[in-house]
Structures are given as structure tokens and as C-alpha cells.
Homo-oligomer: A and B are copies of this chain.
Amino acid sequence: MSESDSPSDFHSTIAALGGAALADRLRFVTEIDKLKSVLRQTPLLDRSRKENDAEHSWHLAMMACVLADYADRSVDMLRVIRMLLIHDIVEIDAGDTFLYDTSAAADEQEEKEKAAADRIFGLLPADQATEFRALWDEFEAHESADAQFARAMDRTQPFLHNFLTQGMMWRQHGVRPDQVRKRMSVIADGSTKLHALVQSLIDEAESHGYFDPGLET
């Protein structure tokens, strides 16, 4: 068995040993390993490298557990965590989009991500594919209490990393405080307390010069 044909061989092997439904599940489980190689703009707190989507998703799920009390509305934690675990899986095909990217490429991203959702969630047995796709659509729609709290986590975590690295990524990309204030405003849909904290930290960041390209750190 060579490396190149192993996914299909593996599926046949599992199907023969454990049935098609298990083979489909394990094809999905092995496919999503690729999320560990999708890099984001956010640095780790020790600044050693950029964060990847898989560890980011873990971090958000942990934050949701720890900060559940800060949700404004009642949320279903199992649904919130599952949303956060799967929310970036489409980036295996579509890649990560920088939050402050205003180019046309960002507009095309939505179509790419939908195609990715079709392909990747489509690896699962039909009932699970439908369930995961519905959860991802709900996250993307930003309307339910669960999705809004999940999105508050997804905005707060990279903000904290940027704040704690003295604006490393903001300075690198020339991001302005007003852009950050605008992007962080959606945190208020999920948690007014976390939103108030983040707005205060943006003021702190500004006063410390974290948006100044010449800052020495």
C-alpha cells in the first residue's frame, strides 16, 4: 500500500472489516486531520509560530466551557462546542481568510466554503452529514443564541492573542483600532460583558501603542 492511494484502500479495508457506515465515518475522521495544517494569522502566545485551525478550534471549545456563564442568553453547551469544533473544517479546502481582509477574494470565500462543506461533511453517512451541515450553516448565519455565543468565542480568542503579543499581527498588517472595534462589535450579540471587556482592552492597546508599526517589543 503506497501513501498516495491509502485513503481509498483504507476505506475498502474498513468497509470489509466494519461496514460502510463505519468506513465513511473514519474517512471523515482521517480527512479532517488536514485542519492541523491550515494556518491562521494569529500567533501563539509565545510568538513561536502561527496557530493552526485545529488547535484554534480546541481553544475555542475550551473557552466556551470556561466562559459559559458570560453568555447573555441561555445556550446549549453541547451544540455550542460542536459548532466550534466543526466551524473551520471547510478551510481544509477553502483556506483561512484574514479577518481584516477587504479584498474581492474575501467575497469569493463564501462560495468556496459552501463547496467545501458539501464535499467534507458529505464524506459522512447521510444523517450525520445533514446534522453537521445544519450546525455549520447555523454558525455561519449568526442568528441563534448558540451561534452568537460561539462567534463571540471565535472573535475573543484571536483578540486576546493579539493583545497579549502587543499587537504583533495588527502592526504587521497595519490594522487600525477602529477596524478592530468594528470586527469585535459582534461579540455583543453573544456576551455584553465580554464585549465591554474587549472594547476596554482595545482602548488599553491603543494607549500602549499596540497599533503603532514602530513599537518595540
Contacts and interface: CB of A to CB of B under 8 A. Distances in A.
Provide the main secondary structure of the chain A interface: helix
Nearest to A47: B3
Number of copies: 2
Contact of A52 (B6, B55, B78, B86): B55
A83 to B, nearest CB: 11
A29 interface: yes
Contact of A164 (B6, B22, B35): B6
Interface in A14-60: 14, 17-18, 22, 25-26, 28-30, 32-37, 44-48, 51-52, 54-55, 57-59
A63 interface: yes
B59 A48 contact: no
Contact of A37 (B14, B36, B44, B66): B44
Interface residues on A, range: 35 or more
Given A17-B201, A44-B37, A85 B61 contact: yes
A35 to B, nearest CB: 8
A66 B124 CA distance: 9
Interface in A171-212: 193, 196-197, 200-201, 204, 208
Given A3-B217, A22-B197, A85-B61, A29 B166 contact: no
A17 B78 contact: no
Interface string A93-137: 000000000000000000000000000000010001000000000
B62 A26 contact: no
B66 A28 contact: yes
B58 A54 contact: yes
